[in-house]
Structure 1
């Protein structure tokens, strides 16, 4: 067994002399150590990747690179702008994209935050997390936060294979460890941590994060001013392959499509211009990513905590976002607060019944409770979801009535007017299918590649909307998705690159068309699957969706 008696206050770490001075007079509870004196090498070394082992196998990120980093690696404060470079082992210093963002970064660095802010309990749930990533999350909270603002860190171990992953971190000051005696999933684990919290404000973090300088004060200040605010930092990117830290754009808001998958939306030009006078002002967001946010504890309880019938992961950010907005609260992203997060392409853990089924069940529960008749757009986008049982929602509907929550139509009109709602102009909504293959965006945006992929009935990349003004054509050298009146884009069979296409002449002897115009004609809610020729479209695979 590892010798944990080797922890002592004489170990040399990369913390500053100022850290020593700040903590030299502290009296710690028996058995506790300062984070600076925690033996990282002993803790992380017990689970390192051995030669010949796949560094991605356990966590779906490069554990070898994660394990190389010090638990308190230095991070320079990221400005509220899009990062242009990154430095291995050191967080990227973002370069601003104009005077607006330059002044915003300066304001963040020099802003004086209120000194009478409430302390917070930081709740971090995890299941089989890489020890190095979990340790950096904990240390970054303690190192980058004013000590009086972090009352405690509650780690909820959701039945990890090795109980010592969490238990050993309980030696660190302010850290409490709770361990589930069976797998509960994110939502129930977070509620357990929140129920045990002793502070008046809750801060939820994922277990693979790194907090930046002055990340906590801006969040607590907004909640202290109005307890119905639920606030999130700008979420920077920690690269899953090399663990470089790259600052994210401050021009993003959370949103979703009708398949109810979270996405980032760029602010409109008008919204960006409106922020020029105050680029660090809070950003109202229709949706939060869900992994990182701060919320008043009493309000969390009044608003119904989490839906305890949701399983493992997925859909909970939709549900809590709808609930906050529709029941009188608000969601904000705070530009002066930045926290890095490791984004992965796959889940590192298993889902009982399969991840697709669990996500569909959770999402159905959110849709059935909060979306009223607009839920039918979700079912049109993801028809397979209708076959997934979602359980009893009566208690959630009663809570919605008791809180006097607004209808989803209000949410669309007042919170997320940018989301296009299919209307009478839409003659089809769903997948274009021939045989077993469907037209697919392959995970790209409007300026990317479209092609074909095996139909999966899960919506996402395979859910185009077609209106009376849009048609589908097949040309000998490729395919095209047309506005029937205006030029659109052409898909070439060789490069499959989408480029602006000139409007072709009527097909008297030139390009043959699929019909005169192959437009989908089924109404929303009916089958929208139509035969189309895809032989000249390039097949491929989306790393994000498939």
Structure 2
């Protein structure tokens, strides 16, 4: 029996048609959406290591969660699935997880408070005992032969992070629709993930070798496999991020910049219910969480290119994003590449906006000019020196920064005065933002 609310609005609880999902068998027959080349391949599963499948969920519909678990098991060689770990992120109905825990190989871990996808996945990964981790969203449907291509690729390349082609499960009627194999992951300068079609040489190469992995600049993040030791060496997830959003781009940058490979495996297919709205809430609002998470990713991995993101998303300049020192230390420890390398080598197709070069000025007082004298940030105040070319200071209209030698001029309160110093550039520091006026002076600021 459905309750009154369920009858009135079948979309209310999950933002998809739950009545349609509940009406569909958890092990229904679906189209084999693989291309014909893939169906000819055979895999020696005796050479593959097993995987722990990790699924996190929060108030997920019982039918979609069951379908995720059932299809993962039924359409995989049993010897390749070591365990299925469900992490119940403090769902209201605890019985959903408890009931599914009765299935063979299924373990349910329950959070006593809401932790979000990121921390829940890390919890599941820490519990896992198989050498390979496979993360799945809680509303997917695994297709025929989905697992072998993923694990087979990892056996060839232990540092490959591999994802299936993600087919579409219609949120209204739950029809299963095949997705194009000519897609890869990208992003825009708002740090929003996007799918993009392969074009030109990339498309020609894929059609010439239709079963080969597709190198992808980013991943959607919901479904992927990774060797557990590599996941841990890479620093798992950024635990300073909240709930969900932006973690997929952060991991994508990290994988590529730190010596790994991010690939879509065209012979692996998994369907996913794509929704137009989130069925759950975010602390502080979804926009604020997303900006905080993406700001962390930009600060750690994007180097000078973070300025493009901050120009596109001005509100991100003022969001609190927490301490990132451990992630910066991780990058240094792993000797990761620059973001410039990533753009040139992995994603040269991404258009970089024309640089607003700003304008250069001498900040003069009579015959003297303001100069940082090349000192390290925060070491000493700026000084007045006789005019010379290298004394020019750049005014960046996008950020409001006055920079010289990679350092920003900042106002530092000192007793009853304000002092001008050179320091590390920080978009959140209002003392580094300047407004240019032709008649402006630095009255009241000491050197």
Could you say whether these structures have the same fold, taking a TM-score greater than 0.5 normalized by the shorter chain as the test? yes
Aligned to 2:271, the other structure's residue is in SS state strand
Alignment of 1:222-261 (within 5 A): 222-261=153-192
Kindly indicate whether residue 319 of structure 2 is the aligned counterpart of residue 364 of structure 1: no
Number of corresponding residues = 363
Kindly indicate whether residue 125 of structure 2 is the aligned counterpart of residue 170 of structure 1: no
Give the 3 Å change call, closer, same or farther, for CA 114–57 of structure 1 in structure 2.
same
After TM superposition, the score normalised by the length of structure 2 is: 0.79
**Which residue of 2 is the match for residue 130 of structure 1?**
61
Aligned to 2:101, the other structure's residue is in SS state helix
Kindly indicate whether residue 193 of structure 2 is the aligned counterpart of residue 262 of structure 1: yes
**Which residue of 1 is the match for residue 343 of structure 2?**
412
**Which residue of 2 is the match for residue 78 of structure 1?**
33
**Deviation at residue 274 of structure 1 after TM alignment:** 2.1
**Deviation at residue 108 of structure 1 after TM alignment:** 0.8
Alignment of 1:1-40 (within 5 A): none
1:78-111 Cα shifts (integer Å, max 9, x gaps)? 03xxxxxxxxxxxxxxxxxxxxxxxxx2221121
Alignment of 1:492-531 (within 5 A): 524-525=398-399
**Deviation at residue 276 of structure 1 after TM alignment:** 2.6
**Deviation at residue 194 of structure 1 after TM alignment:** 0.4
After TM superposition, the score normalised by the length of structure 1 is: 0.65
* Cα contact 1:215–1:339 (8 A) shared by 2: yes
**Which residue of 2 is the match for residue 66 of structure 1?**
21
Q: Which whole-Å CA distance do the structure 2 matches of 1:305 and 1:49 have between them?
A: 43
* Cα contact 2:247–2:293 (8 A) shared by 1: yes
Find the partner of 1:207 among 132, 138, 141. Answer: 138
1:453-492 Cα shifts (integer Å, max 9, x gaps)? xxxxxxxxxxxxxxxxxxxxxxxxxxxxxxxxxxxxxxxx
Give the 3 Å change call, closer, same or farther, for CA 374–112 of structure 1 in structure 2.
same
**Deviation at residue 426 of structure 1 after TM alignment:** 9.1
**Deviation at residue 260 of structure 1 after TM alignment:** 0.2
The Cα RMSD (Å) is: 1.7
Q: Which whole-Å CA distance do the structure 2 matches of 1:163 and 1:275 have between them?
A: 45
Aligned to 2:245, the other structure's residue is in SS state coil
* Cα contact 2:6–2:12 (8 A) shared by 1: no
Alignment of 1:302-321 (within 5 A): 302-321=233-252
Unpaired segments ≥5 residues, structure 2: 359-395, 402-447
Q: Which whole-Å CA distance do the structure 2 matches of 1:163 and 1:66 have between them?
A: 20
Aligned to 1:275, the other structure's residue is in SS state helix
1:255-314 Cα shifts (integer Å, max 9, x gaps)? 000000000011112211122321111100000000000000000001100011111100
Aligned to 2:263, the other structure's residue is in SS state strand
Give the 3 Å change call, closer, same or farther, for CA 195–171 of structure 1 in structure 2.
same
Give the 3 Å change call, closer, same or farther, for CA 239–319 of structure 1 in structure 2.
same
Q: Which whole-Å CA distance do the structure 1 matches of 2:170 and 2:61 have between them?
A: 15
**Deviation at residue 323 of structure 1 after TM alignment:** 0.4
Give the 3 Å change call, closer, same or farther, for CA 51–187 of structure 1 in structure 2.
closer
Find the partner of 1:107 among 14, 32, 37. Answer: 37
**Deviation at residue 48 of structure 1 after TM alignment:** 6.6
Give the 3 Å change call, closer, same or farther, for CA 113–393 of structure 1 in structure 2.
same
Q: Which whole-Å CA distance do the structure 1 matches of 2:196 and 2:79 have between them?
A: 35
Higher normalized strand content (fraction of residues): 2
**Which residue of 1 is the match for residue 78 of structure 2?**
147
Unpaired segments ≥5 residues, structure 1: 1-44, 80-104, 428-521, 528-546
Find the partner of 1:218 among 119, 139, 149. Answer: 149
Q: Which whole-Å CA distance do the structure 1 matches of 2:355 and 2:153 have between them?
A: 41
Q: Which whole-Å CA distance do the structure 2 matches of 1:250 and 1:261 have between them?
A: 21
Find the partner of 2:283 among 352, 355, 365. Answer: 352
Runs of 4+ in 1 over 3 A off after TM superposition: 47-52, 424-427, 522-527
